[in-house]
Copies of this chain bind each other. A is one copy, B any other.
Amino acid sequence: MTQETLNRIRKFTEDRDWDQFHSPSNLAKSIVIEAAELLECFQWDDEKFDEEHVKEELADVMVYCQHLADKLGLDPDEIINKKMDKNEAKYPVEKAKGSNKKYTEL
């Protein structure tokens, strides 16, 4: 995300004085709610979907993720890389290649 986009997201909240509603718990709820709206694009059909609608709902999820990162003072790159360390260890290439099994079953 560019700094400009990031600034816009933060300014949106600030201008509306919405930080008061942005508790971590409320933001976590919001992420699930928007994620389910994204899933609704695929509710009855996995193949045919309205791409414009998907874009909007995906954007909403991403924006709330950024709000939560901001609220907790987290750097997305840092937490993602830390989690990727774990994922790489949980799913070693030689075991996981071409398999959709959960790590507990590999």
Q: Which residues of A contact B (CB under 8 A)?
A: 1-2, 5, 8-9, 12, 15-18, 20-21, 23-26, 28-33, 35-47, 49, 51, 54-56, 58-63, 65, 68-69, 72, 74, 76-77, 79-84, 86-88, 91, 93, 96-100
Contacts and interface: CB of A to CB of B under 8 A. Distances in A.
Given A23-B46, A25-B42, A25-B46, A61 B16 contact: no
What is the predominant secondary structure among interface residues of chain A facing chain B? helix
A62 B77 CA distance: 10
Nearest to A77: B5
B43 A33 contact: yes
A25 B97 CA distance: 21
B61 A44 contact: no
B82 A59 contact: yes
Nearest to A2: B77
26 contacts: A2-B77, A16-B93, A16-B96, A18-B96, A24-B46, A24-B49, A25-B47, A26-B44, A29-B42, A31-B39, A32-B32, A32-B38, A33-B43, A51-B72, A55-B72, A56-B86, A58-B65, A58-B69, A58-B74, A59-B76, A59-B79, A59-B83, A60-B83, A62-B62, A62-B65, A62-B80
